[in-house]
Amino acid sequence: MFNHLILILASSLGAVATYLLHKNGLSVVVASCLIGLLGALLGHFFNLPHLALVIFAGTFVGMTSVNVGSLGLVTLGGLVCGIIYILSLKLFVGFGGKLGTTAFLSTLVVWGLFYLMNKFWG
């Protein structure tokens, strides 16, 4: 269970780091690549094989447009991404596109929640 709390936080940090690097002028693809590489090194160093994957999934959330997203939304999206990643660990093992799909779903969930909140209480 302790590794799960770590994975959820790592996903959010991956999203935030990518978003901030992009907001400060770095290409979104290069930002995602750099944070993903850092995640791979950390995962190897700490012997946590899922760390690199969940950080990389978080970077996909962090690729949200700086014109549309905000740091708070990206942080929350990264947390949701980590939760979805953990819940889907044993689903679709070996299939391609799982990290991107996880990031898309988490972004969609956060956007949907805020859309509904604005619609009913905005």
pLDDT tens readout for residues 47-63? 998 999 999 999 999 99
In the chain, where are the structural domains located? 2-121
Q: What is the dihedral of CA 90, 95, 98, 99, to 10 degrees?
A: 100
pLDDT in tens, 26-42: 999 999 999 999 999 99
pTM, two decimals, is 0.90
User: What is the rounded average pLDDT of the residues 88-103?
Assistant: 88
- d(C-alpha 120, C-alpha 110), whole Å: 16
Q: What is the pLDDT of residue 2?
A: 57
Output the average pLDDT for the chain: 92
